[in-house]
Amino acid sequence: MMTDNKGQAGERETARNEDLILPSREKRTYLSLAPETARTEAPESAPPAAGAKKAAAATGPAIPESGQRVYINLGKSESQDRTGKSEDDDDSTAAIEAMAKPRLNGHASETGGDRDGAGDQAENQAGPDQKAPPGLADTQELNAAPRKVAGPSHNAIRDQVVRGKYRLEQMIARGAESVLYRASSNGHQICVKAVRNSINKWFGDAATRNQEERLEKVTYRTKLRHIQNEFGVSELLYSESDTPTVHIYALRRITRLGLELGYDLVMEYLTGHDLGDKILTRTLTLTDKVNVFYRAIQAVAFMHRKKLIHLDIKPSNFMLVRDQVKLIDFGVSVCSGHRPRAITGTSGYLSPEQICKDTLDEGTDIFALGVAFAVFFGGKSLNQPQEVLLRRQTRLDAQYHLGHDAQPVVNEAPDLNSVPPIFEVLRACTVPRRDLRVSKCDILLNLLRQKAEQAGIKLID
């Protein structure tokens, strides 16, 4: 059952136990072979013995030789479909809320129509996807030690946002569920991500009312669930000091005349470019790009140390802000060990465990990280159409590959043709078989350090 285009794709299933049917090589939809290798491919090897597994664990992830196998198909078009999220799906939000205990009387305080006027209600979506206007003035060479930028403390800004008024100044971007605005609070520049319900058409200000009319494909209930989940996750990640994840300060309920119009998620304003920006990728040097990859892993590692899985890793959810890489958009994030009832994430970056709705862990994000940076280095995302993902046979295929397939799904990253060791790191991230895939960010960081040294690329800590 599809209800929207963000987060998850789900369909109701009959309550019967069904045996796993291993697909024939000719009929698999989850894994396809290039024509030139389809006839000569050797049979699947049997799973390694226990002793072999222990040896593999001791020596680190195996990186199979590059082949012609593709994960569904790497001939993905530029636009990816976000998988829909079913209304009756998932208890992931409840789990996050239980850990974070977000406060609705404080950080998520109610604001009436007099908050700088009801017309100043902020709107944003696509996570804190705060995209600056064209131009690369806010990025800098990465071949230097990270530069600390002085600014107001995060606690000071948060206190102002919670207690005081803020004013919307300009729309930044429109996403699938919300609109992002640049705003100000007591002289501090902030970003506001707003979602609105249908009542906002009548009682909201002109700016938000006109923008929300274009976001009606996603139900308000789904939007609210995602933005509340994002705030709950942010409470677990929040720190007064700088972090590689975006700072989120408050969740504010917007009302007018006693009627709820929606919610504002108030967050740090990031001046920079997301990693899906083609101008950015053409501007950075190869050394810079590898360092961006290095810092992106550190951002994901920061989240994993909190026992959280981002679950929507893709280039546009990383922001390059001067010399820092910031991870954004926690709308569908879950606790490690969560087992979903629907497919959650963005098509084109889904791991086999996401497709077959198996337990999610750190390796799930690492798989998507490998695909995302294959795209960042000039490759393509995976071809995972929604209509194919919803087929039962596709899920059975994914379950098979999760336990048996040792061949990485990334076969190309043109920018890395001159540095094969770095390409090997990407491939090690995208092995479908979970026990052979890189499983932890610490392991991945060490592997990248080794391969960067081998390739003669200096990583900046």
pLDDT at 213 over 90: no
pLDDT of residue 42: 38
Same domain, 131 and 160: yes
pLDDT at 249 over 70: yes
Range of the domain at 169: 92-268
Lowest-confidence region among 2-16, 338-352, 442-456: 2-16
Q: How far apart (Å, rounded) are the C-alpha atoms in residues 144 and 181?
A: 32
Mean pLDDT of 139-162: 65
The two tokens of residue 406 are 């040792």
In a domain, 440, yes or no: yes
Same domain, 67 and 126: no
pLDDT of residue 198: 81
pLDDT at 434 over 80: yes
**Which alpha helices (DSSP H) does 324-440 contain, by range?**
352-355, 362-376, 386-389, 392-404, 420-429
The two tokens of residue 443 are 């392991």
Residue 182, SS3 per DSSP: strand
Q: What is the mean pLDDT of the chain?
A: 75
In a domain, 226, yes or no: yes
DSSP string, 90-139: -SHHHHHHHHH---TTTTT-EE-TTTTTGGG-----TTT--PPPS--TTB
Same domain, 223 and 115: yes
The end-to-end CA distance of the chain, in Å, is 45
Instruction: Count CB atoms within 10 A of the CB of residue 208.
Output: 27
Burial (CB < 10 A; 0-12, 13-18, 19+), residue 373, is buried
Question: Dihedral (C-alpha) 246, 79, 345, 69: value to the nearest 10 degrees?
Answer: -120
In a domain, 55, yes or no: no
Cα–chain center distance at 245: 12
Mean pLDDT of 123-150: 43
Mean pLDDT of 398-410: 96
DSSP conformational letter for 82: B
Q: What is the CATH number of the domain that holds 233?
A: 3.30.200.20
Same domain, 294 and 344: yes
Q: How far apart (Å, rounded) are the C-alpha atoms in residues 176 and 154?
A: 28
Same domain, 194 and 217: yes
> Over the stretch 35-68, which tens digit does the pLDDT of each residue have?
333 333 334 334 444 444 444 444 444 433 333 3
The two tokens of residue 83 are 């998988």
Instruction: Count CB atoms within 10 A of the CB of residue 409.
Output: 24
pLDDT at 306 over 60: yes
Same domain, 96 and 174: yes
Pick left, alpha or beta for residue 217 (phi over 0 → left; psi -120 to 50 → alpha; otherwise beta).
alpha
In a domain, 179, yes or no: yes
pLDDT at 433 over 70: yes
- Residue 458 phi/psi, 5-degree rounding, is -90, 125
Residue 177 confidence class, pLDDT cut points 50, 70, 90: confident
Instruction: Specify the number of domains making up the chain.
Output: 2
Last residue of a domain, one of 212, 239, 268: 268
Residue 358 confidence class, pLDDT cut points 50, 70, 90: very high
Q: Considering the chain, what percentage of its residues have pLDDT values greater than 70?
A: 64
Instruction: Count CB atoms within 10 A of the CB of residue 226.
Output: 28
In a domain, 39, yes or no: no
Same domain, 225 and 357: no
Mean pLDDT of 69-93: 42
pLDDT of residue 258: 87
Highest mean pLDDT among 176-190, 200-214, 425-439: 425-439
Mean pLDDT of 441-455: 98
pLDDT of residue 64: 38
Mean pLDDT of 434-446: 97
pLDDT at 26 over 50: no
Same domain, 438 and 410: yes
Last residue of a domain, one of 233, 252, 268: 268
In a domain, 298, yes or no: yes
Q: Considering the chain, what percentage of its residues have pLDDT values greater than 90?
A: 51
